[in-house]
Structure 1
Amino acid sequence: MKRPTLLRAGLALASLTTLLATSCTAPRIMTMSGKVTPKGEFKAGGNLAFNLPTETISKTSSAVKEAATQLASQDKVDYSTSGELVEKLQVAALAYVLDPVQTAPDLYVRYGVIDRLDVGYKYAFGSHVFDGMYQFMGPVGTPEQPGGAAGAMYGSIGLQFATQRAKLPDIPYLDDINGLLQFRATRNDLLVPLVFSHSFGPEEEIGAISYGVVYSHTFLRYGFDPRNIYVSNSASQLIPSLPERKQSFSSYGAFVNVKVGFRYAYIVPALAMYYQNYGTYQLLNSKSAKLSGMTFIPSIGVQFRIPTGRR
């Protein structure tokens, strides 16, 4: 594909991500290769992913959506008759913050600090991500000054930190849940990817195929402060709020991606899969819920290599 065509694709992706960004999710798109950004060079690009978590999909059925609309329309909700529905709405809210069903766009830039080490910043539309990657395997060079032959194998390991104020997306029934429960949450994520890649051409001049495994750990704070849910058989006593709680959980993943282009611009389709036991969460009225499941994240992105001549 010609460079101008890829540039137009990159601009189109940037516009589309702005339109489709509806809420925040942990930035777990895996589009890196085992070769880090060469010293003194930049990489920039963007991705559009589709976050598909099995547990969240199962906890947001049509019955839950109808219940949200029904309870939100009531001036007073009696927990004695609607307690089960209130529990389901709390679980749906938690599931969406833990792993929302949504498009997940991002824009990023990376810089090669020294040979075998680069750093990067990613903006995932609500989530700020900082990371570094260390290349422990493979040659060091550029397409203009190759350090290895075509087909060389690379390996790297990284550390990523992401922070965000989690919120429910602006979808009608989720707005109803938020209005009813006054849900609030913040989260931080640590992620460690181990990546291997095989170069297409010297120094990934025409791309690479990459694969690896990922470990991530999430730290969540959340709480509920309902304003119109009343204890059983009382028209004046509100159900006690749930003060801020702390919860953490681990995720285990694997991924594969392919980078195809030439020297300065590439298209990067990718697929990542994760399993996580989200853990047990405290709910209103001393109730609790357990959550676990798989997440599938297919994505498509563009990447631009920006030499600076500083090697």
Structure 2
Amino acid sequence: MERVLVTGGEGYLASFLIKKLLERGYIVNATLRNLSDDATVGFLKGLTHSQTRLHLFEADIYNPGDFEVAIQGCAFVFHVATPLQHNENSTRYKNTTEAAVDALKMIAESCVRCKTVKKLIYTASAMAVSPLKDDGSGYKDVVDETCWTPLNLTYYPMFSDYIYSKALTEKEALRYNKHGIEVVCLVCGLIGGEATKSFVSASAYMLLAQAMKDETLYKSLRELENLGSKVAIVHVQDVVEAHIFAMETSEMNGRYLVASDFLKSTEIASLIHKHFPDIAIPKEFIEDTKRETKWDSRKMQDLGFEYKCDADKIICDSIACAKRLGAI
């Protein structure tokens, strides 16, 4: 039984990952921003095998030295935590990008110093792989691991800080690959599926914007589509399995795109209507961009990874979860 660390244990993806790692027999260290958060601690402590194999630590991206204790003795580190909003009380960092990049550096250097860590696996974002041309004049024909979102362009304000934070943190992570530790960056699309907790994730809300008839969410979905030419989507089950596959596959290092489907927003609307004809989507929430950019990444599949969930299941499970939790 190897010991692994999952940062950001209170998050949507991290909680799924912790649950699956415990089921697979791993000893799990997990960090939380606040160990006084009774709801999160109670949820994690209620997972099967948590009483004997789960150990919780308090650590925050804005205090990155906190992570070193949790890293000690670990064979693998999953760095899932990411700051979504800037901590205005911070005197150390002026924005989320500075905080995220510095935390990555300190976590990677702690991994090197402790000498037990075999691999650092960073949860990156498809917002960092836009096929936009550097001058913003159009899109490349394909999306693959060579694509990086141009940081010289202006983006939707809601996404701007996050794009810079995820892109620069991922580049910093890759800098450590083969320099003391192995590094894998899993560049994940918009995550859908079920929920472990009693709320719908932010990514699922965006995915279901048309079904929810929410103008603000729909604008966010369209801006995401404009960033990536289309929208990369993936089921949370496949994302979790991709993380574990990255850990257990020794020859896997570097950058990998993680998405089972690459769709226009109008195609997402069609899938919602196909499976849930009772959900009426207003015409103003359906706009076809006519873009035909292709998703051209099979790096993980070539190593033996298989996606278990297609776009139909992603949409069905997301809608079913949202209905169960009263969001639709």
Alignment TM-score, normalising by the size of structure 1: 0.24
Report the structure, 1 or 2, having the larger strand content. Answer: 1
Report the structure, 1 or 2, having the larger helix content. Answer: 2
Q: Which is greater in Rg?
A: 1
